[in-house]
């Protein structure tokens, strides 16, 4: 099988998809915006060809590149695993008659109001929402739905630029910020109270062949706005043992069917609270922030290789062991500036060293990143343990004990 893979060099986890495709027998044709000489020898060795384009989201340039490859070999698949690349990749598939995620599905998985409109019509429980292209439309929705509300870019990923508003003053300020960014349209949603997590799958022909559940502590919006919090997410190994997760699995299948998701990785956010289980949003791509690395370490499984098997062979053979829960705790500097050092690292190593998967502790002198930059922006520790609750306690201990000092 000949597979075109979009942007093999950045971010760093992209190389694992290329490696896995090569390992399961695919001939990989990379298309990216970095010069080939910037790619290391190992990454180049997994590809039979690399094609540079000015911008991987430029549909015209990508179509030309893929057609150039098609003039030389039959292209079986074109795959993109980054949220901002998925719609352009689907448009190129359509232009070049390559099977895979459709433009309709890619659009619905990018445009949050359209996504939720389709899912509500299919009976999937989700928050009230609208697409607003004027302040008047936002105010009208606020009067009809009430506060709190959440405002976010229509096609954004993660919590970046997502804002909660609890009253008229906050709404006016938020609209001013979006207006200053010259945003044409935003998604406005009812705020859903409850615990937040995500449900990730490798789906084959719309049916999850592998699935994983992770929990956020605290919820993302709070975690990405509060410096003193050391937020974490934890992948549970109880998904097969706790009956309540079946409701989440059923929800995932219904979402796949309604949106037309076929053979693809998926990343679905959900809430569970006073109104029960509620769908939040889904991406037709793998999760970010190293989640697949945690799933692999927790389950004695190379998830990247399972994904490659689903693309190349139309099935997966691996099965998660569920031996461990695994999680990450983000460690924020105490102020903006540059990192000057750490404290508490030796204590954590003494108490929990055998359960530490890895730690990222940028050297002194490294510029700090704001908390909105995410879980892996500054320092972090990743751990695993056979018991979910024990792991949660260890991650809490890391967050209380290890301090990132900046000056």
* Phi-psi domain of 68 (left: phi exceeds 0; alpha: psi -120 through 50; beta: other): alpha
Backbone φ, ψ for residue 398 (5° rounding): -60, -45
This prediction's pTM: 0.91
Q: What does the pLDDT read at residue 155?
A: 65
Q: What does the pLDDT read at residue 162?
A: 80
**Could you state, in order of their start, the residue ranges of all structural domains in the chain?**
2-100, 128-190, 195-406
Q: What does the pLDDT read at residue 158?
A: 52
Q: Which residues of the chain have pLDDT under 70?
A: 155-160, 182
Q: What does the pLDDT read at residue 267?
A: 98
DSSP single-letter state for residue 194? S
**d(Cα 164, Cα 109) in Å, to the nearest integer?**
22
Q: Would you tell me which CATH number, out of the four given (3.40.640.10, 3.50.50.60, 3.40.50.20, 3.30.450.20), belongs to the domain 2-100?
A: 3.40.50.20
| Fold classified for 128-190 | Dna Ligase; domain 1 (3.30.1490)
Q: What does the pLDDT read at residue 40?
A: 96
Q: What does the pLDDT read at residue 261?
A: 97
Q: By the 8 A CB rule, do 324 and 389 touch?
A: no
For the record, the structure tokens of 211 come out as 């699935």
Q: What does the pLDDT read at residue 221?
A: 85
**């070049």: which residue's tokens?**
96
Q: By the 8 A CB rule, do 91 and 59 touch?
A: yes
Q: Model confidence over 230-276: pLDDT tens digits? A: 999 999 999 999 999 999 999 999 999 999 999 999 999 999 999 89
C-alpha torsion sign, points 360, 383, 247, 276: negative
Q: What does the pLDDT read at residue 157?
A: 54
Provide the pairing of β-strand 207-217 with 232-235: antiparallel
Superfamily of domain 195-406: ATP-grasp fold, B domain (3.30.470.20)
Q: By the 8 A CB rule, do 316 and 210 touch?
A: yes
**d(Cα 239, Cα 214) in Å, to the nearest integer?**
10
């Amino acid at each position: 099988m000949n597979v075109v893979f979009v942007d093999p060099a950045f971010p760093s986890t992209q190389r694992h998809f290329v490696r896995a495709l090569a390992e399961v027998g695919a001939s990989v044709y990379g298309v990216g915006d970095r010069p080939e000489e910037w790619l290391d020898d190992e990454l180049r060795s997994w590809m039979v060809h690399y094609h540079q384009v000015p911008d991987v989201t430029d549909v015209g340039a990508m179509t030309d590149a893929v057609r150039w490859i098609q003039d030389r070999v039959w292209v079986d698949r074109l795959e993109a695993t980054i949220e901002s690349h998925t719609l352009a990749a689907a448009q190129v598939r359509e232009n070049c008659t390559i099977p895979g995620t459709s433009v309709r599905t890619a659009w619905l998985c990018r445009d949050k109001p359209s996504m939720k409109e389709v899912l509500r019509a299919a009976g999937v429980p989700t928050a009230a929402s609208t697409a607003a292209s004027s302040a008047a439309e936002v105010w009208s929705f606020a009067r009809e739905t009430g506060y709190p509300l959440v405002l976010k870019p229509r096609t954004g990923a993660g919590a970046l630029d997502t804002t909660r508003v609890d009253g008229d003053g906050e709404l006016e300020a938020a609209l001013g910020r979006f207006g200053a960014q010259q945003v044409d349209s935003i998604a406005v949603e009812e705020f859903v109270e409850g615990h937040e997590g995500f449900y990730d799958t490798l789906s084959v022909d719309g049916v999850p062949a592998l699935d994983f559940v992770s929990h956020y502590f605290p919820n993302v919006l709070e975690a990405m706005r509060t410096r003193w919090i050391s937020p974490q997410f934890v992948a549970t190994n109880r998904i097969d043992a706790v009956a309540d997760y079946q409701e989440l699995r059923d929800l995932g299948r219904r979402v796949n069917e309604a949106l037309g998701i076929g053979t693809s990785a998926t990343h679905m956010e959900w809430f569970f609270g006073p109104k029960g289980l509620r769908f939040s949003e889904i991406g037709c791509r793998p999760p970010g922030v190293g989640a697949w690395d945690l799933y692999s370490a927790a389950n004695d499984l190379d998830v990247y290789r399972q994904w490659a098997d689903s693309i190349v062979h139309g099935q997966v053979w691996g099965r998660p062991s569920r031996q461990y829960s695994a999680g990450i705790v983000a460690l924020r500097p105490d102020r903006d500036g540059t990192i000057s050092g750490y404290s508490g690292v030796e204590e954590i190593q003494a108490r929990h060293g055998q359960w530490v998967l890895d730690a990222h502790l940028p050297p002194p002198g490294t510029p700090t990143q704001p908390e909105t930059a995410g879980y892996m922006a500054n320092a972090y520790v990743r751990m695993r343990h056979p018991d979910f609750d024990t792991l949660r306690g260890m991650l809490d201990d890391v967050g209380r004990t290890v301090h990132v000092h900046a000056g």
